[in-house]
A and B are shown apart, each in its own frame.
Chain A
């Protein structure tokens, strides 16, 4: 399957919308077209039981999958973008934010929380792709920075679940500097010898890849996830020919030495708990 197809499949509809439609009792896998009951699909962590296709999910689902009893303390829930540039393109950034907030019931593209994974404390920062493509602006940088401060204060490990198209253009250089900010903050995690696990999910590209997503003590990805710096379309335009099969998939990135492991979402919580035990000092 080419990556072009894969991207299209991933963005057909969000899991939330599916649940709300009357036909939402059933899930049709965009990859193998097999049909399963939505409850079974959810049960299998939104992974197709037939072919293993990983549907895109957001922070709500990841927290439910990973945190014991879906219990967690969320941080800074109400931080929103300050629109420092008063940015206007075809639409005011302020309006875009307001519309996205009411559509998604999210405040920005990341949520941070402290919970337990089989009894092991963990702080998770998880992105939501449905909020302006999971793009990184000041809110994402600030929430990650504060989550790191919390980890430092309470001596806790951190996991960041990336799912992002990259920079948030409407915050221009502020967005760019979040790469510097998050990377600089991660040096403090290392200094304190606190584990940082990066989970790269579909898609992880641009400024997120070129900062914290690639800086994990462990870099882990979900199967088939698109992972890269430049987007596939840009690379294709640059080289002027079709991209090789499997280019920029998690499997490709692992083969080239930039991932420690690919973990099926259905085994994620178990594997994560094992790793946390092994990293504990």
Chain B
């Protein structure tokens, strides 16, 4: 049974109708072919209409859809299962919310890094709901440095509700860990591509988000705070999350307009999970194309361009 979101109700009902009609056909030995085709057509129309007019909040919901592919799904598909996961930050432990390792994209060796969420209760806990601790960011940096040493490009997949706000995370310097990554990623000598595949929440997302090219999937969000937390702080309740989602301008379209990202990867109608193979291919295509272009630029220019790009972000009024 697929999981439907509240706004997908019309589609869920049509699928139920489709099932019922099929059963009637079988039981009553009636020819329902025509009826089924009509319903299927209707589903396509409703889908198209629904997914072409998504509100920011609906996109936030899609970005968190329980059936959505996570980092490892993308990496395994894109590397044709050649991914060799590497563990540990060499200091404290192995953070299961942050994964990384080498994989082959066609004939090219690439370092993949990403936040990882779980698909069921047990794995969600194991992955700490995709919320890394400082050792996660330090593991990511260690692997980026490893890639740099052997001149391999880095691709990061961002999907986190935030860096973990726990007691031990504070003791081990969550702030310093993220800060260090921002600094080091700015000057990493190899090409870096960052792709937001789900939730891009604040510093926890940015901690692996400094790239030559930053892409967002169509139904993802990227901002300084989640709409719920924004609502609770600015409106002092949780009821204004939709308003907050609008105000934050956190969708891929908004982010591209604001020139804070470099591109958008379209998702199949219904979201990435409705046709994973299609989205894996789209993401792979972007990676291959962008890496090809980035590798033609020499390393010091690439670093300079990267620093210049982030330095240009912001809107002020000269007095």
State whether the Cβ of A84 lies closer than 8 Å to any Cβ in chain B: yes
Does A256 contact B222, Cβ atoms closer than 8 Å? Answer: no
State whether the Cβ of B249 lies closer than 8 Å to any Cβ in chain A: yes
CB proximity of B193 to chain A, nearest CB, Å: 15
Chain A contact residues (Cβ within 8 angstroms of B): what range?
35 or more
CB proximity of B173 to chain A, nearest CB, Å: 5
State whether the Cβ of B190 lies closer than 8 Å to any Cβ in chain A: no
A230, B77: Cα distance in complex, Å: 35
Known: A184-B182, A229-B174. A82 touches B315 (CB 8 A): yes
Does A214 contact B175, Cβ atoms closer than 8 Å? Answer: yes
Smallest Cβ-Cβ distance to B243: which chain A residue: A89
Residue interface bits A118-150, CB-to-B below 8 A is 1, else 0: 000000000000000000011101100100000
State whether the Cβ of A157 lies closer than 8 Å to any Cβ in chain B: no
**Residues of A151-205 contacting chain B, CB below 8 A:** 167, 169, 171-181, 183-188
**Chain A residues close to B by CB (< 8 Å):** 76-85, 87-90, 107, 137-139, 141-142, 145, 167, 169, 171-181, 183-188, 206-207, 209-215, 228-230, 234-235, 238-239, 243-244, 247-248, 256-258
A169, B202: Cα distance in complex, Å: 11
Q: Which of A80, A173, A247 has a CB less than 8 Å from the CB of B167?
A: A247
Does B186 contact A183, Cβ atoms closer than 8 Å? Answer: yes
Kindly list 19 other residue pairs between chains A and B, CB separation below 8 angstroms, not including A138-B313, A187-B186: A81-B317, A83-B315, A85-B249, A138-B314, A141-B314, A173-B222, A174-B258, A179-B178, A181-B314, A183-B182, A184-B311, A187-B183, A210-B174, A210-B182, A211-B179, A214-B175, A215-B183, A239-B166, A256-B173
Does A145 contact B311, Cβ atoms closer than 8 Å? Answer: yes
State whether the Cβ of B255 lies closer than 8 Å to any Cβ in chain A: yes
A sample of 20 inter-chain contacts (CB < 8 A) reads: A78-B318, A78-B319, A81-B315, A82-B317, A141-B313, A171-B224, A172-B225, A172-B250, A173-B222, A174-B258, A176-B206, A183-B182, A183-B183, A183-B186, A184-B183, A185-B311, A209-B175, A215-B179, A229-B175, A238-B164
A178, B312: Cα distance in complex, Å: 10
* B175 neighbours in A (Cβ, 8 Å): 209-210, 213-214, 228-229, 258
**Chain B residues close to A by CB (< 8 Å):** 163-167, 169-176, 178-180, 182-183, 186-187, 202-203, 206-207, 209-210, 222-225, 230, 233-235, 244, 247-250, 255, 258, 260, 306-307, 310-311, 313-319
Does A173 contact B315, Cβ atoms closer than 8 Å? Answer: no
Smallest Cβ-Cβ distance to B233: which chain A residue: A169
Q: Which of B178, B187, B235 has a CB less than 8 Å from the CB of A229?
A: B178
Known: A90-B234, A210-B179, A210-B203. A184 touches B307 (CB 8 A): yes
* A244 neighbours in B (Cβ, 8 Å): 167
A186, B234: Cα distance in complex, Å: 32
Q: Which of A139, A181, A228 has a CB less than 8 Å from the CB of B310?
A: A181
CB proximity of A94 to chain B, nearest CB, Å: 11
A211, B186: Cα distance in complex, Å: 12
A17, B217: Cα distance in complex, Å: 49
